[in-house]
Structure 1
Amino acid sequence: MEMASFPSLLRTLAIIILCYYLFKFFMRIFAPILMQKAVNKMQEKMQEQYKQQQEQQSRASQASTPTPKPKKEVGEYIDYEEVK
């Protein structure tokens, strides 16, 4: 089994540190753009859901308007009292 040399260890650490800082740099540039797109997409979905909900409520209110039902006349109502 071979031992890693000191220069290769330094090279590996330098690559890792470089990748870390490049990642941070690109995230500072692209993260706000990606977040804005995500927020806009969620906002569109919320507006769409709100419109659908409003349509459902308007349909429900139109369907639930009470139509006068004709009352059946069965006869007179007689109130009986209990006799003890």
Structure 2
Amino acid sequence: MVTASFTGVLRTIVIIILIYYAIKFLLRLLAPVLMQQMVKKAQRSFNNQQQFNQQNYTTQQANLKRDKKPKENKKVGEYIDFEEID
């Protein structure tokens, strides 16, 4: 059975603390860059979706105008004006 020495445990704890602070420091440096990249990606995605929707809307409007037939004016009969008789 192997027993841990006090210096070995202390060294491990110090290494863990150093790694924690190193990661924390790097994240503070890299977080703004990563967030900016995420925002740019979301903006591109939004713009692409907006263009797609605009193209769909324009195509639908063109199809509606093309498919729309002029209404025929049908004259069924004469207009009769009724007057009340007392």
Question: 4+ residue stretches of structure 1 with deviation over 6 A?
Answer: none
Q: TM-score, normalised by structure 1?
A: 0.80
Partner Cα separation in structure 2 for residue 62 and residue 5 of structure 1: 81
Aligned-residue Cα RMSD (Å) equals 1.8
Q: Aligned partner of 1:63: which letter?
A: N
User: 1:81: which partner in 2?
Assistant: none
Number of corresponding residues? 74
1:68 Cα deviation from its structure 2 partner: 2.1
1:70 Cα deviation from its structure 2 partner: 6.0
Q: Unaligned stretches of 5+ in structure 2?
A: 77-86
1:67 Cα deviation from its structure 2 partner: 2.1
Query: Which residues in structure 2 correspond to 1:27-42 (within 5 Å)?
Result: 27-42=27-42
Q: Unaligned stretches of 5+ in structure 1?
A: 77-84
User: 1:19: which partner in 2?
Assistant: 19
User: 2:83: which partner in 1?
Assistant: none
Q: Aligned partner of 1:28: which letter?
A: R
The alignment-based identity, stated in percent, is 38
Q: Does 1:51 align with 2:51?
A: yes
User: 1:68: which partner in 2?
Assistant: 70
